[in-house]
Chains A and B, each alone.
Chain A
């Protein structure tokens, strides 16, 4: 089955610690995205990548970092510089540059601070 896999489903971070959220897709999509969702709010774009070895800041990139070394993988690191990391994180992918192709989402990772 083609899709996007995010792991882990739940993650806990201690103060001052970096954590990495995994996102893997087998849809052969070029573009991948990371979003953050806070309660009662929409999806805010953290980073996105159009092709391997390239990525762009989204609207709230501060305190996060990403890499895109393989087409199928787009891990997100929440660094200690992110002062309010508790949120629901969603990864998505899509066919690049075809507007009417929607994004396909994983089931998310919920990050909490210990």
Chain B
């Protein structure tokens, strides 16, 4: 199975800050990398696929990059509604494993 490792596990930041979350795959997954946002008590919300393609309706302050084994999710200017937990997921092959999550908290 492909292991997905996110860093950091948690992050404190302020509104307006730029933050970057990293996701590393245990083997090359090309660009088969998704990002999801989850708020407490809610189902995950899809944000980005193919490492850098933004879902329609997702604010443009979200961006993704990377290929092979190393990927990043960047939020260029944090908004109050962005404080949540973020997960990466590889869709290269089954099982479609998730990273352990990064909890983004208000400083």
- Whether A associates with B in a native complex is no
Q: Which residues of A contact B (CB under 8 A)?
A: none
Q: Which residues of B contact A (CB under 8 A)?
A: none
